[in-house]
């Protein structure tokens, strides 16, 4: 795929969006690879999103990322979907194809790459607890199943939503209520995929879920991840991480879909960690 012209535009849509690191990440990728990038953050709630995405396309938009709360809304606006987006039921990457959008989900691939490369965690034959059942959680759940997790337990405030996701995944997955966590035993990985941290809230983690080797990981980053990371430490976790690495890796997957080349992520990740 040829490099885009200087006029080609890219963006991230969400609400709130001012905090997003995506423009900085894609600018850094472009600078490293010599590709001119016009990548902006566009504020849009669910009601405004279709019109703002259409206006973006008319203005030359060639690709976009989608974050909270629009990942499932984005799926409905796509004329075609990748297999992983269809299975996850959410889209975080939009690719302009003619007069329509092609939707993909790079969250799962980004999460697995960060877990493996930065945390030395291989999901195969491991026991995983996933908190949440929304768009990002669905992408993570299918990624863990595809990676060979031995058991995937999904806990969500609305049990029916967790049960629906577990049923879609198959025998490796089961659903439970948030107030039943204490009886589940130890997990190798606990992943917070809920949006509670964005409101400053977090689910309490029973100590029975963890030991010294358990990795506790929040898909969010920065302030939104802090409540869960604090709760994990309070429960005795020694290994905790936010999702900054996942953010960078899923962005690299999107970048490759748009520009035909996957950037080296480590220098960009290190720069973001340094602030």
Any idea which residues carry the catalytic annotation? 71
Strand order in the sheet with 127-131: 173-177, 151-156, 127-131, 189-192, 215-218, 239-241
226 assigned ligand-binding residue: no
164 assigned ligand-binding residue: no
What are the residues facing 215 on neighbouring strands? 189, 239
Annotate 62-95 with b (16+ C-beta within 10 A) or e (fewer): bbbbbbbbbbbbbbebbeebbebbbbbbbbbbbb
SS3 labels along 47-79: CCHHHHHHHHHHCCEEEEEECCCCHHHHHHCCC
92 assigned ligand-binding residue: yes
Query: Would you call 274 helix, strand, or coil by DSSP?
Result: helix
243 assigned ligand-binding residue: yes
140 assigned ligand-binding residue: no
93 assigned ligand-binding residue: no
Q: Name the nearest CA neighbour of 203 among 235, 246, 172, 175.
A: 235
10 assigned ligand-binding residue: no
112 assigned ligand-binding residue: no
20 assigned ligand-binding residue: yes
Q: Please tell me the distance from the alpha carbon of residue 235 to that of residue 258, in angstroms, as a whole number.
A: 42
Residue whose tokens read 């890219």: 10
65 assigned ligand-binding residue: no
250 assigned ligand-binding residue: yes
Binding residues: 20-22, 67, 83, 92, 107, 132-136, 156-161, 219, 221, 243, 250
Binding residues for shikimate: 20-22, 67, 92, 107, 221, 250
Binding residues for NADP(+): 83, 132-136, 156-161, 219, 243
């Amino acid at each position: 795929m040829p490099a885009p012209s200087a006029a080609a535009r890219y963006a991230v849509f969400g609400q709130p969006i001012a905090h997003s690191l995506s423009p900085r990440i894609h600018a850094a990728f472009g600078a490293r690879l010599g590709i001119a990038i016009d990548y902006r953050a566009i504020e849009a709630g669910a009601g405004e999103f279709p019109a703002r995405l259409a206006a973006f396309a008319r203005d030359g938009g060639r690709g976009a990322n989608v974050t909270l709360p629009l990942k499932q809304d984005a799926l409905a606006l796509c004329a075609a979907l990748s297999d992983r987006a269809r299975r996850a039921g959410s889209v975080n990457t939009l690719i302009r194809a003619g007069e329509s959008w092609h939707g993909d989900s790079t969250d799962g691939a980004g999460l697995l790459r960060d877990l493996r490369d930065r945390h030395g965690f291989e999901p195969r034959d491991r026991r995983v607890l996933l908190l949440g059942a929304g768009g990002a959680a669905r992408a993570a759940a299918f990624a863990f199943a595809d990676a060979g997790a031995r058991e995937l337990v999904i806990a969500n405030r609305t049990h029916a939503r967790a049960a629906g996701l577990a049923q879609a995944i198959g025998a490796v997955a089961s659903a439970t209520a948030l107030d039943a966590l204490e009886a589940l035993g130890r997990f190798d990985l606990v992943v917070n995929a809920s949006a509670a941290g964005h409101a400053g809230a977090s689910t309490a983690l029973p100590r029975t879920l963890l030991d010294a080797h358990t990795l506790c990981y929040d898909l969010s980053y920065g302030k939104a991840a802090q409540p869960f990371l604090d709760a994990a430490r309070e429960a005795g976790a020694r290994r905790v991480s936010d999702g900054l690495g996942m953010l960078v890796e899923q962005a690299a997957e999107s970048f490759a879909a748009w520009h035909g080349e996957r950037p080296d992520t480590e220098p960009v990740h290190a720069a973001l960690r340094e602030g």
